[in-house]
């Protein structure tokens, strides 16, 4: 906290920065609210939670309970509130109880699937079950796709790969479509506008294939906070009766929010958002803060990292410059 206070003070006393600060706000810390473990959760999973001293937050307990009851669910609690655990435990519970159960996770970006893969491999090991989770996207070698379609009970993919492969759904082992119990749609708030329309039609194709194979998978949507979440979920999926989980039981620590506008009117000139990002990034890093900078393109990510390193080296912060890294799509595995 002292580092954050020092950074906020630097922003206020520096005329360049202070003139462009629109608003400063801090939240009130919130204590965690826990819920009971759902009775239908398999003893293996209950034992795993106890062994790892994991208590379910109230929204996690309620979400899992609704999923196990066979309801379609949309979860819109805040970032880092543990939404992933709701659908992971629900899916794994079905796979423990039914050896034929299958699931499909749909992510808008490859990086999200890669992160989830690590978590699922740990859960598979700790629960001692065989689900063979696999990523099935454009980076997956063609030689491995046939094996994945045959062996994997849980497949993680993205809309672009699905659009490509659904036309050849007959190449998939029919057991996958016949036993597809859950479809997980993560980061659902990203499916809006023209892209959202494409995804809505893609989901209709998936439903049609499932109906052909006599399957009716349940849907679990995970999203950032959005207005009219149930209406959104129903329009996106053409399914009725979604259960909304929006009251988070996760704790919240003290946070400071600073709204910064490089286009502030009345100063006589506008500044480049990229240059201002560099200025702020330099300030935060030199104040000892772990800093994430989100930008809109791969090229901009590379440029921000490159010029940040140069700026830090120039100011004799070579040790900090070595810690600046860029993360973007397009990297090869490993």
pLDDT in the model for residue 115 = 83
CA distance 244 to 233: 10
pLDDT in the model for residue 332 = 63
| SS3 of residue 206 by DSSP | helix
Q: How many CB atoms lie within 10 A of CB 18?
A: 11
The DSSP string of 269-323 is S---HHHHHHHHHHHHHHTT-------SSHHHHHHHHHHHHHHHHHTT-HHHHTT
CA distance 18 to 11: 6
CA distance 73 to 88: 13
pLDDT in the model for residue 110 = 80
Q: Whole-angstrom distance between the N-terminal and C-terminal Cα of the chain?
A: 35
Residue (of 29, 80, 26) closest to 259 by Cα position: 26
The DSSP string of 22-45 is EEEEEPPPB---B-PPPTTS-HHH
Query: Which residue segments constitute the domains of the chain, with CATH numbers given?
Result: 2-28+253-321 (no CATH), 43-245 (3.40.50.300)
Cβ pair 86, 38 in contact under 8 A: no
CA distance 136 to 166: 12
Q: What is the DSSP letter of 150?
A: H
Phi, psi of 53 (to 5 degrees): 55, 45
pLDDT in the model for residue 2 = 82
The residues that bridge with 102 in the sheet, in sequence order, are 180
CA distance 146 to 164: 15
Per-residue pLDDT of the chain (334 residues; tens, 9 = 90+): 788 888 888 899 999 899 899 999 999 999 999 999 999 999 999 999 999 999 999 999 999 999 999 999 999 999 889 999 999 999 999 999 999 999 999 999 887 888 889 999 999 999 999 999 999 998 899 899 999 999 999 999 999 999 988 887 777 888 999 999 999 999 999 999 999 999 999 999 999 999 999 999 999 999 988 889 999 999 999 998 899 999 999 999 999 999 999 887 776 678 889 999 999 999 999 989 999 999 988 899 999 999 999 999 999 999 999 999 998 766 665 5
Residue (of 313, 279, 274) closest to 294 by Cα position: 274
pLDDT in the model for residue 87 = 97
pLDDT in the model for residue 135 = 95
| SS3 of residue 185 by DSSP | strand
Q: Residue 331: which residues within 8 A CB-CB, separation 6 or more?
A: none
The DSSP string of 63-109 is HHHHHHTT-EEEE-PPTTS-HHHHHHHHHHHHHHH-TT-EEEEE-SS
Q: How many CB atoms lie within 10 A of CB 45?
A: 22
CA distance 302 to 304: 6
CA distance 62 to 76: 13
| SS3 of residue 111 by DSSP | helix
Cβ pair 71, 220 in contact under 8 A: no
């Amino acid at each position: 906290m002292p580092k954050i206070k020092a950074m906020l003070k630097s922003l206020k006393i520096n005329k360049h920065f202070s003139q462009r600060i629109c608003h400063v706000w801090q939240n009130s810390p919130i204590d965690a609210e826990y819920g009971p473990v759902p009775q239908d959760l398999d003893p293996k999973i209950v034992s795993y939670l106890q062994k790892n001293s994991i208590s379910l937050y109230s929204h996690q307990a309620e979400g899992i309970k609704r999923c196990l009851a066979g309801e379609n669910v949309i979860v819109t609690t805040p970032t880092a509130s543990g939404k992933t655990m709701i659908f992971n435990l629900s899916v794994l519970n079905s796979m423990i109880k039914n050896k034929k159960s299958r699931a499909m996770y749909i992510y808008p970006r490859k990086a999200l699937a890669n992160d989830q893969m690590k978590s699922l491999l740990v859960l598979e090991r700790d629960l001692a079950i065989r689900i063979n989770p696999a990523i099935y996207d454009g980076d997956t070698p063609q030689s491995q796709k046939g094996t994945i379609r045959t062996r994997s009970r849980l497949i993680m993919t993205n809309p672009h790969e699905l659009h490509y492969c659904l036309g050849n759904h007959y190449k998939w082992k029919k057991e996958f479509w016949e036993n597809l119990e859950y479809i997980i749609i993560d980061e659902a708030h990203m499916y809006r506008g023209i892209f959202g329309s494409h995804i809505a039609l893609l989901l209709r194709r998936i439903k049609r294939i499932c109906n052909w194979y006599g399957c009716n998978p349940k849907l679990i949507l995970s999203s950032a906070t959005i207005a009219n979440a149930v209406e959104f979920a129903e329009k996106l999926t053409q399914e009725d009766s979604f259960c909304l989980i929006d009251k988070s039981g996760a704790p919240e620590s003290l946070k400071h929010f600073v709204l910064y506008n490089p286009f502030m009117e009345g100063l006589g000139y506008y500044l480049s958002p990229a240059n201002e990002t560099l200025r702020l990034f330099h300030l935060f890093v030199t104040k000892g803060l772990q800093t994430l900078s989100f930008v809109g393109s791969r090229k901009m990510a590379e440029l921000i990292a490159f010029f940040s390193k140069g700026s830090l080296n120039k100011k004799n912060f070579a040790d900090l410059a070595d810690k600046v890294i860029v993360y973007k799509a397009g990297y090869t595995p490993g």
